[in-house]
Structures are given as structure tokens and as C-alpha cells.
């Protein structure tokens, strides 16, 4: 282990303290809700949705920072470092994340969520399909896949601190884990969204600054590209350094995973039930798309350019922290590295909250202790305990990280998407969708994705997720058509008028 760089470490410690401060500020709202006697707007509504009052700028920042994570700021640039500009092109498919999520779900999703008092995605699915099987399957999927996804984020944060500061990996992992757990446990959704807004600003400034620094250090974009071609001509092609690996069909189909299908990620789609009004929705779409473009293009280009500026690193995941500490004085590097660290923390705290909601709100309250549903004090204690325990479990999982965290993150996201995408979209827009169809889609989507990941990773040359999503969609439609249509109450709740 190299010597600790305290010039880099001190600004990061100050950032951690600021995150704690946001959590303690938000704690007063959580405590107020926990002591409330109003079950309609009590603890779970505050803890999971922040009272549904997100404005446009906050909505954009929390949506973007929730999705753009260690994969986008550590793992993605790390892969660009090894694959070149082809991976930068591929990564830009994530740019319309905010647009797709808010435009596809739209006003109807938020209206329905308020109407049925839903505070989680599973609440929405429970009201739509009225099926215990659907609730249990989706809740278990959230916990299982999100633990993998969050482990990837924690690994990214620890590697950032390891590469930039010189901390031992396990010490860095512990410091980050304690900060995330305490921050999320005490402040809930409000703390998460407030910190997301601050982190979004930090991420944007850091990305622009690091990009400019890399371009200047490399002698300009033209010189950098020429040097990349000298390292490996494949670095400047749309298909990466391994010809035949990033084919046109595979790159195009990858957009399904990181573009349109992000609507099926609960920690992202949950933001669409928490905004304040239509103006906030439209502002969120606009600001979210602009910020996503800056962050994704900037960081991935830095990763690709890094092959001409950084050498001798053990993993591509270390390119951003290593390059930043090379380009800038220690104190400035520490401030800038708070950007990638912010992206990771903003994703983890959101996922941690969703996983906690799945255990407490979707499983424990509904099937184990339904009599405490309107007791805000008891649900508050259980939610806080569940959030802490999940955080500890993820900390333990993250001790043995893979070489490139981007793959673990993408695997987990694909599993979540295979579970939720069609039950959410068809449940919102197709009257004929029913519980039997949703169950068929969930089981076939998860099952075929896990199967193909192991035996047929590129079916017909496409990304692994494509065929499972197609299979689950077809089975959803067929099974729904062959079984009983939703009841009158469900149709009236979601569409207002009962029509067959």
C-alpha cells in the first residue's frame, strides 16, 4: 500500500461530513412523520417518497445521479480505457435515461401512485395485479439483484479511495459503507434527494474540469486520438480493440439495456411517482437529458483518453482516480474526486432505500405483521433496522470484488429489468394485463436471462437481455389473453371508466 495522500483525503472527509449533515437535517422530517397519526401521509410516505414534492431541478438531479453510478464514473471509463472510443459511443445510449423514464411513465404514473397511496413500485404492482405471488416475486428480485448492484457500487467507491488516496481497500470500503448506511438510515428519501442534488452539481463540475485537464495534458483532442491509434488502431473505431466483440447488432441492442429498459429499474422509476407537478415533470426531462449528456460523454472520453496518459495500473477501474491525482494538486484532486464518489453514493442510497422498502413495506407489513401498517413508530423502527442490516450485508459481499465492476453492475440491472419492465409498462397502459400474465413474464424473464447469461450470452448476436425481454413480453400477452381479465375495480382505479 502506498503512502496516504492527506491532501486528497481531507476534501473527501469534508464531503462525507456534508453528507452526514444532509442526513441529520432530513431526520427531523422523518421523525415528524414517524410521530404522525395520519396513516395516509405518515412515516412510509415521507421515508420512501419525501412527501412527493420534488421540483424539476431536484427531480432531474436525483433521477440522473440515481442511475449514473460507479458503472458510469468508474467502471464505464475503466472499460473505455481498455476498449477505446467504441465504448464511449455505446455508453451514450444512457443519455436519454431521464427522458425515457419520465416520458414513458408520464403523469399517469404519478397520479395513480397518489390515488392508491403507493410508496414503492411493488405497491403499484400490488394494486394493479392484486396478486401475492407478483408482490413476493418482485420483492425478492429487488433484494437479490440490488444487493449485487449495490456491491458493485461499494467496490467502485473503495477502489476510487484506494487509487486516489492510497487507503487500504478494506478501510476505504468501511469508511464509505458507514457513511452511506448512516446517511440513508437517518434521513430516508428526503436526505437522498437533497444529497443527490448537491452531488449532481459536484459531478457536473468535476466531469467538466477533469475532461479539460485531460485534454490539455494530452496536447489536444487531435493529438490524443492519434496517440490512441498508435497504442491500438481499434481504440478509435466504433467496435473496440477486439474486432468482432462490439458488433453493430450487439452495440445497437445494448441500447435496450441501458436506454429504454431503465424504466424497469425501481430506484429510477420510483422518482416518477415523487415529483410535485407537471411543470416539474417537464423540467426534469429537460435538465436530466442535458446533465446526462455532459456526465456520460465527459467521463467516458476521459477514460478512453487515459490510455495515452496513464500506465501501470492494475485495473481499468483505477483510471479516473489515478489520472485525477496526476493532473491536479492534491487538494483540488480531492474536491474533483468527490464527483465520482457522489455518483456512487447517490445510486447506493437510492437502491438501499428501495431494497429496504421491499422487505419492510412489501413483505413484512403485508404478510408478516399487517397490524402495524398504520403504526408509524413501529414501521419506522423496522425500516431503519432493515436498511442498516441490508447495508451491512452489502458491505460483506463487497469484500471480494470482480476485476471490472461494470459487468457486475450491468448483470444486476439486467436482472431487475427482466423482472419489472413489462409488468410496469403493460400494467400502466394495457387494460388486459393481468396477474397471470405478469407472473409468466417475471418468471420467464428472470429464468431465461440467468440461463442465457451462462450458456448463450449473445443470442443471435444481440445483448443477453434482448431475447429474455422478448420472451417475457410474448408470454405476458399470451397468458393474459388466455386467462381472466382484470376486475372492474382495477380498471376503474387505473382508467376511470370500466370497458371490456
Q: Are 167 and 10 in contact (CB under 8 A)?
A: no
Output the pLDDT for position 40: 42
CA distance 169 to 155: 9
**pLDDT tens-place values along the chain, 500 residues long:** 557 877 888 888 887 787 767 766 666 655 565 555 554 445 555 555 545 556 667 777 766 766 666 567 777 888 889 888 988 888 887 777 666 777 777 778 888 888 887 777 888 898 999 998 998 888 888 888 877 778 877 887 887 787 778 888 888 888 888 887 776 766 555 666 666 677 778 778 888 999 999 999 999 999 999 999 999 888 988 877 776 667 778 877 777 777 777 777 777 777 777 777 778 777 877 888 888 888 889 989 999 999 899 887 776 777 888 888 888 888 888 888 876 776 677 677 777 777 777 777 677 777 777 776 666 667 767 877 887 888 888 888 777 665 545 456 667 777 888 888 999 999 999 999 999 999 999 999 989 988 888 888 788 888 888 899 999 999 999 999 999 999 888 998 888 765 55
CA distance 321 to 81: 13
Class of the CATH-defined domain 6-416: mainly alpha
| Closest C-alpha among 465, 432, 461, 463 to residue 448 | 465
Q: Is the dihedral of CA 447, 449, 455, 460 positive or negative?
A: positive
Whole-model pTM? 0.75
Output the CA–CA distances (angstroms, integers) from residue 318 to 65, 143, 412, in the order listed.
21, 28, 22
CA distance 408 to 393: 17
Output the pLDDT for position 317: 72
| Closest C-alpha among 178, 146, 132 to residue 370 | 132
Output the pLDDT for position 223: 94
**Spans of all domains in the chain:** 6-416
Output the pLDDT for position 90: 83
Q: Are 386 and 147 in contact (CB under 8 A)?
A: no
| Closest C-alpha among 94, 9, 20, 7 to residue 345 | 20
Amino acid at each position: 500500500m502506498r503512502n496516504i495522500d492527506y491532501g486528497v483525503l481531507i476534501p473527501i472527509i469534508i464531503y462525507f461530513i456534508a453528507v452526514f449533515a444532509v442526513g441529520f437535517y432530513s431526520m427531523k422530517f422523518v421523525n415528524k412523520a414517524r410521530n404522525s397519526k395520519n396513516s395516509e401521509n405518515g412515516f412510509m410516505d415521507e421515508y420512501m417518497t419525501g412527501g412527493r414534492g420534488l421540483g424539476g431541478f431536484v427531480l432531474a438531479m436525483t433521477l440522473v445521479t440515481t442511475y449514473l453510478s460507479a458503472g458510469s464514473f468508474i467502471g464505464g471509463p475503466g472499460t473505455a480505457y481498455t476498449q477505446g472510443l467504441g465504448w464511449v459511443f455505446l455508453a451514450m445510449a444512457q443519455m436519454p435515461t431521464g427522458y425515457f423514464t419520465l416520458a414513458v411513465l408520464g403523469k399517469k404514473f404519478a397520479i395513480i401512485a397518489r390515488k392508491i397511496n403507493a410508496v414503492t413500485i411493488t405497491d403499484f404492482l400490488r394494486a394493479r395485479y392484486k396478486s401475492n405471488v407478483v408482490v413476493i416475486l418482485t420483492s425478492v428480485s429487488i433484494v437479490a439483484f440490488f444487493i449485487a448492484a449495490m456491491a458493485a457500487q461499494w467496490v467502485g467507491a473503495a477502489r476510487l479511495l484506494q487509487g486516489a488516496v492510497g487507503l487500504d481497500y478494506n478501510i476505504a470500503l468501511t469508511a464509505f459503507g458507514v457513511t452511506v448506511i448512516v446517511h440513508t438510515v437517518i434521513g430516508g428519501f428526503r436526505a437522498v434527494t437533497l444529497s443527490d442534488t448537491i452531488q449532481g452539481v459536484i459531478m457536473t463540475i468535476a466531469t467538466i474540469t477533469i475532461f479539460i485537464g485531460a485534454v490539455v495534458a494530452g496536447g489536444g483532442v487531435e493529438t490524443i486520438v492519434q496517440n490512441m491509434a498508435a497504442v491500438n488502431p481499434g481504440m478509435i473505431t466504433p467496435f473496440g480493440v477486439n474486432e468482432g466483440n462490439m458488433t453493430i447488432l450487439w452495440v445497437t441492442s445494448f441500447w435496450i439495456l441501458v436506454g429504454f429498459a431503465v424504466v424497469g429499474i425501481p430506484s429510477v422509476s420510483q422518482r416518477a411517482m415523487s415529483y410535485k407537478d407537471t411543470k416539474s415533470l417537464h423540467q426534469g426531462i429537460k435538465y436530466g437529458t442535458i446533465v446526462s449528456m455532459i456526465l456520460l460523454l465527459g467521463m467516458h472520453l476521459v477514460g478512453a483518453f487515459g490510455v495515452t496518459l496513464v500506465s501501470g495500473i492494475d485495473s481499468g477501474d483505477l483510471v479516473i482516480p489515478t489520472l485525477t491525482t496526476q493532473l491536479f494538486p492534491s487538494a483540488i484532486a480531492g474536491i474533483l474526486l468527490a464527483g465520482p464518489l457522489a455518483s456512487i453514493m447517490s445510486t447506493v442510497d437510492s437502491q438501499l432505500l428501495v431494497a429496504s422498502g421491499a422487505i419492510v413495506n412489501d413483505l413484512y407489513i403485508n404478510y408478516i405483521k399487517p397490524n402495524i401498517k398504520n403504526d408509524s413508530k413501529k414501521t419506522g423502527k423496522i425500516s431503519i433496522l432493515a436498511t442498516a442490516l441490508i447495508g451491512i450485508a452489502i458491505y460483506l459481499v463487497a469484500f471480494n470484488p470482480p476485476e471490472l465492476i461494470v459487468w457486475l453492475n450491468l448483470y444486476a440491472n439486467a436482472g431487475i429489468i427482466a423482472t419489472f419492465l413489462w409488468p410496469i409498462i403493460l400494467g400502466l397502459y394495457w387494460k388486459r394485463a393481468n396477474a397471470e400474465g405478469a407472473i409468466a413474464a417475471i418468471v420467464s424473464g428472470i429464468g431465461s436471462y440467468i440461463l442465457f447469461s451462462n450458456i448463450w450470452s449473445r443470442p443471435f448476436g444481440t445483448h443477453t437481455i434482448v431475447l429474455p425481454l422478448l420472451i417475457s413480453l410474448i408470454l405476458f400477452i399470451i397468458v393474459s389473453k388466455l386467462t381472466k381479465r382484470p376486475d372492474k375495480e382495477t380498471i376503474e382505479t387505473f382508467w376511470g371508466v370500466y370497458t371490456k
